[in-house]
Each structure stands twice: as structure tokens, then as C-alpha cells.
Structure 1
Amino acid sequence: MKKVLVTGANGFLGSWVTRALVAEGHDVYALVRAKSDLSELEGVNCKYIHGDVTDIHSLLEAVKGMDTVFHLAGVIAYKKSQRAQMEKVNVEGTANVIAVCREHHVRRLVYLSSVVAIGAGYTQDQILNEESSYNIADLDLGYFQTKHQAEILVREACKKNEIDAVILNPSTIYGRGDAKKGSRKMQIKVAQGRLKFYTSGGVNVVAAEDVVAGILSAWKKGRTGERYILAGENILIKDLFAMIAQEAGVKPPQHQLPGQLLHTVGAIGDLMEKMGFKGPLSRENAYTATMYHWFDSGKAQRELDFKPRPAREAIHNSVQWMKDHGLVRK
């Protein structure tokens, strides 16, 4: 039994990881802010420590005596106005976690990065892996950049032998409860039969259960300083929406939005936001929706015994949860 701390424990993936660690019999501590919504952790037998990754003093106290820190706390956002918050939480927060793990000689840091830290493809033949060079720096997309920068900090600390860490890069996670995420409004609309359009890009779908299994396996046998992509099936956004609609028993979106139109609307959205109004979407949304986020998880399959299930199964679980909670008609 290990004494472990989970940052971001009350988030979607954090709660899945916390549950799994408790189920394995570990002494699990959840780092949460004083006014955090803890509904995701209802019924989970973990202990709470109040703190914040942006407050190094609270972290110093929280990490004391821990065998392992699972660092999942982060901010996902696609607006320029949220860039400073992402810099503070995703980059500075990770730097704080590294410093405290070094200070307390924590045996292992398990860092949850994202496939966005690796990059994205502009065409369908670009399938990225752990060795792919970060190819979208010129776009300066806030979420992608801050996760990329944070991951560099972890890798550099490992190279200097300051900490022992392993890095996980999950793709788009589907499963029970994912509809609660702010980034899933579009998918809920699809499941309700209310979305008429789809975009030209592609996405990689991975099941929550498989990501959790990959995280626990990486903790136990992942190589120090290595990144592992936890990804499932590469599919077009058109096909993703069709799967969601089919599982929900509604008509899928029929019309593809032209990429150029999407980018124009995104630019207008950024301008509106600058003027203090709420835009329909941002430039970052437009790029994210039209790129191909396709990845190869071969390394994790070889080294971590990672076995991703088909996208359909993960999407079925996601939509079934929506049905069970009244978001979609049964």
C-alpha cells in the first residue's frame, strides 16, 4: 500500500484515477481547493487536503510523506482571455509540483500531459507518436502551448535527475460522466439531435477505463522521463458525431462546415471578445476543430500492456450515462 496524492482529483479523469487507486488499496489523498465541487468524488474513500498547485506553500505541506504524486490538475480553455490562467495553472503549477517533489524526495511523479503537447496534423496522413516534433508552435494555441511547456519542465527535471517522473499523453477521453465536462457541450447537442453541422477534422477516441489502466501501469513500470501516448481509435469528426447520434437514436449532423468559414468566424469571435462581447467561437476553436488529432499508441501497447477498446464502446458508455441522467431521451 502506497501513500499517494492526486492533484485535480475532483475533475473527470482525476476522479476515475482516485477511485482506481482506492480500489487497489492505497492511502489516497485528494488535493482540492477550499471551495471545490467534490461531487465527482462522492462515495470515494479518500482523504482531502486543501491546497492549490499555484500555491507552493500549500503544496509543500500536502506532498510531505507521499510516495507518489499524480499530477492531473490543469485548465483546458480555448480563449485568449484564459491564456494567463492556463500559464499559471498548467505551467507554473507544474513547476511548483516538480519543485516540491524534488524537495520532499518523492519516489515518483506521474504527470498527466495531453496529446496536444505533441502537436496535431494538418492532413489525414499525419499520425503522430512520442517522437513527433511539435509542429504547431507558430499557431500559438494557448492550451497546446501551455501543456507542451509544462511537459518540457518535467522532462528536463528528469534529465537532471532531480525527480523520477513518467509522462502520459491521453487523447480525447470518452466514458461515463464525460458529459459533465465543459468541453462536451457540442457532443451533448449531437446526442440530442440538435446539431446540424460537423467540421472537417479528426479526433482520437480513447475510453476512460483504458486511460486509467494505462496510468496505473505507467506508474508501476513506465520508464523515467518517457512519454506514453494513451490513445485509441483515429476517426473523423463526422464519424464521431455519427456514432454519438446512432447511440442516442437521433439523426446525425448532415452538413460539413467549410474550414475557411470556421476560421473567419473564429477571427470575428476573437475580435468580439477583445471588445468585451461573447463571440460564437475563437480562432483556437477553429484550428482545433479542423486539424487531425490522430495518434499512435504503439509504445504504450508494447511497454505498458495498454489495450485500447474500440471507439464505439467508449462512446456507448458516454451516451448511456447521458441517457441515465436525463440529458438524452432513452
Structure 2
Amino acid sequence: MSKLCLVTGANGHLGNTLVRALLAEGYRVRAGVRDTSDTEPFAGLDCQRVYVELLDEAALDRALDGVEVLFQVAAAFRHWSADPEADIITPNVQGTRLVLQAAARAGVERVVYVSSVAAVGHDGSALDETSWNEEVENPYYRSKILSERVAWEAAQALGLWMVSVLPSAMVGPNASRLTDTMGFLESIRQRQVPLAPDFHFNFVDVRDVAQGLIRAAQSGRAGQRYILANERSSSFADLLRAINAVSPGYRQPARAPRWLLMCVAWLQEAQAGLGGRPARLTRSQVRLFQGVRQEYDTGKARRELGFQPRPSDAVLREAFAYLWRRADQ
């Protein structure tokens, strides 16, 4: 029989896409979710839904019973919170430690740990897997850096076979709820971005990342990191070209200087602190992204995993087309 895989965060963007990709390749899949009553992402999928909460050790033990391959996808993905330590950092770091301890107790054969290029960093040069980010201001970035370090410490101490994969900004189909990344594209689609930031994000199709995870489990080398990204980043002008290829009529807004973005972010954070609604732009994001290209050397993943990502312009066109279809449903 095919191997039994557990995918944590299976109703999320990457998790759900990975479930579909694993099923297409004949794997048996156990889909770990926090809300087992949320059946919509799994309509028509022949997988078992199980309760998984990374901070619930008993639930982890039950979910991992008999599992041969663990895909640790679940994580808090947000850049703002009224209490980032409790809502972002602790769940990601402590959840990583507990799920790997449970994997060791269950005798899991292989662990594919999903980190992020946030743990690699970006400085405009083509960074590879040897780079570790030292950024500590942005809570999401800090959580991903600390979580991956904890994962490697735990894997070594527990004798686990583990690889980590580091995706860039994922876009594409199977987003039952929009991530921050997909939400940014949706705000462009809805003409809610009046100023053009000098941001250069590295976009990758979520389906390519899912395939990269499967290949990492099959042919990755234990103890290795693999960047799953495109080799070039995309400017705001690139985003507009992509959406105009899908639905013409979008114009380039005025360029936003750094000082103005910082003012907007400050206001967003102040309003979020009063009303509880997440800030759509934070000062730490402006400091992270303004004027810096996110470029990566993906040669290792291409050589060892056969990673072949769609070109970034095609990735963006397909992502905007998906958002239009989603809006029409």
C-alpha cells in the first residue's frame, strides 16, 4: 500500500493544495485541521480529516498514529496582532517543538518541515540555503526564524529524518480563505491600493510548492534546506501588467515614498489597536520590503528535487484569474 501521510494545516492554502497533489500521486492522506466541521475544502477528496492542534499533545499523538510521512505545514501566518508573542511567535515555535516530539514518539519515517524564505532573508542578492535571516522586528519573520531553528534542534536531538522547505510568497488556487499574500493581490484587483509601494516580492505558484514538498519527501537529503521560489522578484508594475493581461483597465498609481508609507502604516496600526481589525500594512513591513528585491538561488532544489516553478509572470496572471473566478462564484 502507498505511504500514509499527515498534512497539518490541511485546510490552508498550501496544505489543501498539498493534499490534492498527494492524492493525485496515490498517497493515503490524513488531513489535519483544527475545525473538522469545515468540510468545504475537502469536497470530493478521498482523505481522512482528523483534529490537529499543534499545542495539543494528545491530539498530535492520535493524528500521527501509523503515519509514515509528516508534512508539517500548519503555522500562524499573519504580520500583525495585538499580542504577537501569544498569537504568532509562541504558537509557531512551541507548536514546532511539540509536533516533532510527537512525530518521534510515533516513529514517523520522514518529516518535511515547511519554513519560509523569511528564515533566509533578502538583501537584493541571490541568497541560497546557507543564509539565515537575523531580522527580529517583524513578528511573523521572527517566528519563522525561531521555529526553523527549533525544528533543526529537535530533529537532531530526536534522531528524526527531516528536510526543511522554504517557499516564497505563495499564490494560486485552492485558497478557501485568503492568506495575507493572496489578500494583497485581491486588494489590487479591487482597486484598493491607491499608492504604488516600491516592494519587490518573490511569488511562486502554490502548486509548484506542493510538488516541491512531495519531491523533498521522496528524494531530499536528510538535514538539508530547500528554497522553493522564483529566481526573480516582481515589482508593483509587474503586478499591474499581470492583472491587465487578465482584465484590462488598471493604471499605475502614484509611487509612494518611504516616509508616506510609514505614516500610512502607523495609522493602520493605531486603528488596529483601537478596533482589533488587523493592520493591512505595518511599519515593520515597510522597513522589510521597501526598495529591496527578493532574489533567491534555487539551483539546489532544481538539481536535487527537480523543482521547476512556473515563471513569475505566468504565476501572477493565473493567480489574478483565480481571484476573478472566485469573486464570480
In structure 2, the partner of 1:324 is 325
Q: 1:108 to 1:66 in 2, by over 3 A?
A: same
CA distance in 2, matches of 1:158, 1:223: 14
1:131-142 superposed matches below 5 A: 131-137=130-136, 140-142=137-139
Post-superposition CA distance 1:109-160 (Å, at most 9, x none): 1111111111222xxx4332111232423xx210001111110112123333
For normalisation by structure 1, the TM-score amounts to 0.90
Distance 1:2 1:297 in 2: 28
Alignment match, 1:104: 106
1:204 Cα deviation (Å)?
A: 0.9
SS at match of 1:253: coil
Alignment of 1:147-296 (within 5 A): 147-160=144-157, 162-178=159-175, 180-183=177-180, 184-247=182-245, 248-275=247-274, 281-290=281-290, 291-296=292-297
User: C-alpha separation between the residues in 2 aligned to 1:327 and 1:285?
Assistant: 31
Shift of 1:250: 2.5
Structure 2 length normalisation: TM-score?
0.90
Q: Which moved more, 1:196-205 or 1:55-64?
A: 196-205
CA positional deviation for 1:163 = 0.9
Q: CA deviation at 1:59?
A: 0.3
1:75 maps to 76
The aligned amino acid for 1:32 is: V
Matches within 5 A, 1:108-127: 108-121=110-123, 125-127=124-126
Go from structure 1 to structure 2 and tell me whether the alpha carbon gap of 1:135 and 1:252 turns closer, same or farther (over 3 Å shift).
farther
Residue type at the aligned position of 2:96: T
Q: Which moved more, 1:43-52 or 1:317-326?
A: 317-326
> In 2, Cα distance between the equivalents of 1:265 and 1:161?
46
- Gapped regions of structure 2 (runs ≥ 5): none
- 1:201–1:237: 8 Å Cα contact kept in structure 2? yes
Q: 1:80 offset after TM fit, Å?
A: 4.0
Q: Does structure 2 conserve the Cα–Cα contact (< 8 Å) formed by 1:233 and 1:310?
A: no
1:325 match: secondary structure: helix
Aligned-partner Cα distance in 2 for 1:61–1:85? 25
- The Cα offsets for residues 3-40 of structure 1, whole Å up to 9 and x where unpaired, read as 11110011111011001111111211111123563322
Give, as a single letter, the amino acid of the residue that structure 2 aligns with 1:38.
T
Q: Give the secondary structure class of the aligned counterpart of 2:309.
A: coil
Equivalent residue, structure 2, for 1:54: 55
After TM superposition, the runs of 4+ consecutive aligned structure 1 residues lying more than 6 A away are none
Post-superposition shift, 1:82? 4.6
Larger mean CA deviation between 96-105 and 77-86 belongs to 77-86
Letter in 1 for 2:322: W
Consecutive unaligned residues in structure 1, runs of 5 or more: none
**Structure 1 residue 313 corresponds to structure 2 residue 314:** yes
Evaluate the alpha carbon distance shift between residue 35 and residue 218 of structure 1 in structure 2; reply closer, same or farther with a 3 A threshold. closer
Q: Which residue of 1 aligns with 2:44?
A: 43
> Distance between the aligned counterparts of 1:80 and 1:310, measured in 2?
33
Measure how far apart 1:182 and its partner are. Answer: 3.6
Partner-residue secondary structure (3-state), 2:62: helix
Percent identity between the two aligned chains: 28
Aligned length: 323
Residues in 2 aligned to 1:15 and 1:286: alpha-carbon distance in whole angstroms? 30
Query: Take 2:284 and 2:78, find their aligned partners in 1: how far apart are those partners?
Result: 9
Distance 1:97 1:132 in 2: 25
Where 2:112 maps in the other structure, the secondary structure is strand
Helix, strand or coil: the match of 1:234?
Answer: coil
Cα distance in 2 for residues equivalent to 1:218 and 1:323 = 32
The superposition leaves residues 237-294 of structure 1 with CA deviations (integer Å, 9 ceiling, x where unpaired) of 3233223332322213321111122123323433444455655632233234424332
Q: Report the residue type matching 2:145 in the other structure.
A: H
For 1:271 and 1:61, locate their aligned partners in 2 and report how far apart those are by CA, in whole Å: 42
- Structure 1 residues 300 and 277: CA distance shift in structure 2, 3 A: closer
